Amino acid sequence: MAKQAKPRMALRDTVGDKVFYTINAIVLGILALIVLYPLYFIVIAAISDPDAVLGGKVFLYPVNLNFEGFAKIMERKDVWLGYRNTILYTALTVVLSLIVTVPAGWALSRNTLPGKRLLMIYFIIPMFFGGGLIPFYNVMSGLGLVNTIWAIVLPSILSVWNLFMTKTFFESSIPTSLIEAAKIDGAGSFRIFIEIVLPLSKAIIAVMALYYAVGQWNSYFNAMIFLQNENLYPLQLVLKEILIASESTVGGSGETILQQYRLANQLKYVSVIVSSVPVLLLYPFVQKYFAQGVMIGSLKG
Amino acid sequence: MEAANPAKRAVKERAPRVKKKRTKEQRILSLKENAPYFLMVLPAVAVVFLFNYLPIYGVLIAFQDFMPGDKILSDSTIWIGFQNFERFFSDPMFWPLMKNTFLICIIGFIIGFPLPIIVSLMLNAMKGKKTAKVLQTIFNGPHFISLVVLVGMLTLFFGRYGLVNNLAASLGGERYSYFLESSAFRPMYILSSNWQDFGWSAIIYIAALSNVDPQQHEAAILDGATRFQRVINVDLPAIMPMISVMLIMSIGGLMGVGYEKALLMQTDGNLQVSELISTYVYKRGLTGVPDQAYATAIGLFNSIINVVLLIIANTTSKRFSENSLW
């Protein structure tokens, strides 16, 4: 060790640096395990014998492979109805949100827009102050949206954060000269937007679609307060019944609890997987746009 | 319509600043030219008006003797001033709610604020850039899990026969029903939130770090700085403005915890610590025999605290540094 320290070359890692890199990598590795292990455990618990899971025999690998949970969930009509509803709500939300967010972001990124400052203030205020839950509920009820799918879709089609991220993307990624040139060629504002701006904006459109889709896919609260018709329930509300409702009503003797657990437990692990897979699959797919789109947007926003 | 009116006013206000004099014709021309942009922003203006501004107007019921179905403003409106607020201050739930809300926010802040900063600095300081990318992807993953699933996972792991108790039992420990213990609520809530979002919150710091000028690092290396010293003296100062902005926002949110997750985690056993201002608003306003005016007043009180905290944080930051939100 002492020998190594003597011939010090510039731009070479010193011993201290090597130690630093090693510790750094180890700590981050442990952090990755902390993130991954619960997810991994869900998977192995879902395909293990439920008794082995409850008996504490499953820790690192599946025990007595068992796919009954997946068979059981296929029979759950409510899950698949919820799935269908969620797909419908998510698709509607994504389409409408892009129609609302992207053009508005483009318009707000134009410096020549008269009243831009006022418009910005108009959008910023709700980020910091809102009417709260009850007035929101009353507005929805006044609009006649309660117990319709629009109570789920419409309030989710604009997030001001996303709008500002889109605006910042346009400000930093679309060259002004390009727009000026198109103007001189006689192209109108709509044509410029559709034929020049949109094709250059795949990154932000992909990222926005992901954000809105994940937001809608994962939300349960609006559905819980606005929907009474169970046929309209989205997946998350059905999941809430499966995953949580039964846990908070623990009662009876130890034996019955164990029996309930055995029946419901595997279904819970399976339902976590079945509901989360679509979103987790979507993420790497869109990730290549992240570097471009989100980074720029969030940096300045 | 909403877009056109403020726009017109803005032109009037701005005109003297930009050009000395703009004729009426020029102004109309400018509006005409910009009409497509107003059309583009109109749907967003309408959505925000419906779902954000109308509820702000609806806050008026906090000052009324309001029954569901009443009009917000009519001849028969009964104004009762601040009675609902006074009622809340003398509600036996007032102090427990304030305490629970503040504690979950402040502990969450103490753990959750530095964590993404440290992680972003560590990822940035990694030798292998590809490994760092893979790790970042892993860290972002849990962000995409829904709250229902997250709390479902908690109940599976911390249930009486869940992973944690099984591990404890195999090591000779006792079994606990963590969801029925009030002392377990805050740790479970805060740690699971951090597990879910530390990677996601690190993104903006990582983005800021990728903009650090490599020459600064080279100069520091020539001066004999170790990698760790460069993290402290080059990387950290580079993201300081971002940290300030996030700090201001976090302080503004110190009483602003939402109801979504807490509602899912509440049980009779932990209610004394898991009842927050936001969950109480939900329960008083939308469940049982709803007392909408009272619940709205509580919510309004909470929003005002948040705005005041934000303004204090911003003003303080402005005074002591150059960083502020406005």
- Complex prediction ipTM: 0.88
d(CA A225, CA B213): 50
Answer whether residue B184 shows pLDDT above 50. yes
Q: What is the pLDDT at residue A261?
A: 66
Give the nearest partner residue to B41 out of A31, A107, A188, using CB atoms. Answer: A107
Closest by CA position to B138, among listed B195, B209, B208? B195
A162: closest chain B residue by CA: B44
Chain A contact probe: residue of B28, B34, B47 with most A CBs at under 10 A: B47
Max distance between CA atoms of chain A, in angstroms, equals 81
Q: Which of A107, A137, A298 sits opposite B203 (nearest CB)?
A: A298
B135, B202, B234 from B138: Cα distances, Å: 5, 12, 26
Above 90 in pLDDT, residue B67? no
Specify the range with the lowest mean pLDDT, choosing from A29-38, A245-254, B303-312.
A245-254
Domains observed in chain B: 4-48 (no CATH), 88-320 (1.10.3720.10)
User: Does B115 contact chain A (CB < 8 Å)?
Assistant: no
* Whether residue A118 has pLDDT greater than 70: yes
Pairwise pLDDT comparison (B309 vs A279), residue with the higher score: B309
**Which residues in chain A touch residue B277, judged by CB atoms under 8 angstroms apart?**
none
| Best A33, A98, A120, A134 residue to mutate vs chain B (most B CBs within 10 Å) | A134
Structure tokens at A64: 């007595």
DSSP B111-137: HHTHHHHHHHHHHHT-S-HHHHHHHHH
* pLDDT at site A7: 42
Higher pLDDT, A20 or A112: A20
Instruction: Quick: pLDDT tens for A55-88.
Output: 888 899 999 898 888 988 888 899 999 999 999 9
What pLDDT sits at residue B3?
Answer: 40
Average confidence (pLDDT) over B230-257: 90
| Segment B267-304, tens digit of pLDDT | 999 999 999 999 999 999 999 888 999 999 999 999 99
Q: A221 to chain B: which residues are within 8 Å by CB?
A: 259-260, 263
Q: How far apart are CA A98 and CA A157, in angstroms?
A: 8
Q: Do B58 and A131 touch (CB under 8 A)?
A: yes
Q: Measured between beta carbons, which residues in chain B are less than 8 angstroms from residue A123?
A: 44, 48
Nearest to A223 by CA among A142, A293, A153: A153
Count Cα neighbours of B312 within 13 Å in the Cβ-side half-sphere.
11
> What does the pLDDT average to over A18-39?
96
- For residue B211, count CB atoms less than 10 angstroms from its CB and return exposed for 0-12, middle for 13-18, buried for 19 or more: exposed
The 10 Å Cβ neighbour count of residue B63 is 20
CB contact under 8 A, A56 and B302: no
Helix (H, G, I), strand (E, B) or coil at A31: helix
Inter-residue contact B201 to B108 (CB < 8 Å): no
CB of A132 within 8 A of CB of B303? Answer: yes
List Cβ neighbours of B188 (8 Å cut-off, separation of 6 or more).
B154, B158, B178, B265
Residue A127 predicted with pLDDT over 70: yes
Mean pLDDT of B151-178: 90
CB A201 within 8 A of CB A165: no
pLDDT at residue A24 is higher than 80:
yes
Residue bearing the bigger pLDDT, A255 or B121: B121
Q: What is the pLDDT of residues A225-282, one digit of tens each?
A: 999 999 999 999 999 998 886 544 445 555 566 666 676 888 999 999 999 988 888 8
Measured between beta carbons, the chain A residues lying within 8 angstroms of B167 are: 56, 59
pLDDT band at A299 (very low <50, low <70, confident <90, very high): very low
Of A54, A250, A276, the CB nearest to B149: A276
Which range has the worst mean pLDDT, A283-292, B53-62, B69-78, B171-180?
A283-292
Position A98 confidence tier, pLDDT thresholds 50, 70, 90: very high
Q: Which of A277, A56, A111, A163 minimizes the C-alpha distance to B48?
A: A163
d(CA A278, CA A258): 32
Chain A residues whose CB is inside 8 A of the B3 CB are: 115, 119
Tell me whether residues A131 and B54 touch, CB distance under 8 A: yes
pLDDT of residue A124: 92
DSSP string computed for A128-140: H----HHHHHHHH
Question: Which of A263 and A15 is assigned the larger pLDDT?
Answer: A15
Of chain B residues 170-229, which have a CB less than 8 A from chain A? 170, 177, 179-180, 195, 199, 203-204, 207-208, 210-211, 221-222, 226-228
Burial class of residue A75 (count of CB atoms within 10 Å of its CB; 0-12, 13-18, 19+) = exposed
CA–CA gap between residue B73 and residue B64 (Å, rounded): 10
How buried is residue B263: exposed, middle or buried, by Cβ count under 10 Å (0-12/13-18/19+)? buried
Helix axis angle, A77-108 relative to A116-128, nearest 10°? 150
**For A138-142, which contacts have Cβ atoms below 8 Å and span 24 or more sequence positions?**
A138/B55, A138/B58, A138/B61, A138/B68, A138/B292, A139/B50, A139/B51, A139/B54, A139/B55, A139/B58, A140/A226
Q: What is the mean pLDDT of chain B?
A: 88
**For chain A, what is the radius of gyration of the CA atoms?**
26
- A50, A70 contact by CB (below 8 A): no
Most A CBs within 10 Å: which of B5, B8, B33, B41, as the mutation test of the A interface? B41
Which of A133, A189, A250 is closest, CB to CB, to B282? A133
Q: Which pair of tokens denotes residue A247?
A: 């846990």
The amino acid that residue B219 corresponds to is: A
Give the lowest-confidence range in A48-57, A191-200, B43-52, B86-95. A48-57
In degrees, rounded to 5, the angle at the alpha carbon of residue A95 between the alpha carbons of residues A81 and B38 is 145
| Residue B43 contacts residue B64 (beta carbons within 8 Å) | no
Contact list in B for residue A217 (CB cut-off 8 A) is 146
Distance CA A231, CA A226 (A): 13
